[in-house]
Amino acid sequence: MKNTIWVLFLFATFFSTYAQNNDQLINRAGNGGTSQRILFIVSNAHFYGDSERNTSNHFSEIVHAYDVFQKAGYAIDFVSPEGGAIPIGYINTSDSLQKKYLYNNDFMDDLERTKKPNEIRAFNYRAVYYGGGGAAMFGVAENKEIQRIAMQVYEDQDGIISSICHGTAGIVNLQTKDSSYLVAGKKVNGFPDAFENMEAAYYKTFPFSIQQKIIERGGDFQFSEEGWDDFMIADGRLITGQDPSAAASVAKKVVETLQE
pLDDT in tens, 240-256: 999 999 999 999 999 99
Instruction: Grade residue 20 by pLDDT with cuts at 50, 70 and 90.
Output: very low
Provide φ and ψ at 237, rounded to 5°.
Answer: -100, 20
Q: What is the mean pLDDT of residues 72-77?
A: 98
Q: How many CB atoms lie within 10 A of CB 115?
A: 15
Q: How many CB atoms lie within 10 A of CB 8?
A: 10
Sequential DSSP letters for 148-168: HHHHIIIIIS--EEEEEGGGG
pLDDT tens across 134-146, in order? 999 999 999 999 9
Contact criterion met (CB below 8 Å) for 169 and 208: yes
Q: What is the pLDDT of residue 18?
A: 40
Q: What is the pTM of this model?
A: 0.87
Q: What is the pLDDT of residue 35?
A: 64
Average pLDDT, the chain: 90
Contact criterion met (CB below 8 Å) for 220 and 185: yes
Q: How many CA atoms lie within 13 A of 192 on its CB side?
A: 17
- Amino acid identity of residue 190, one-letter, is G
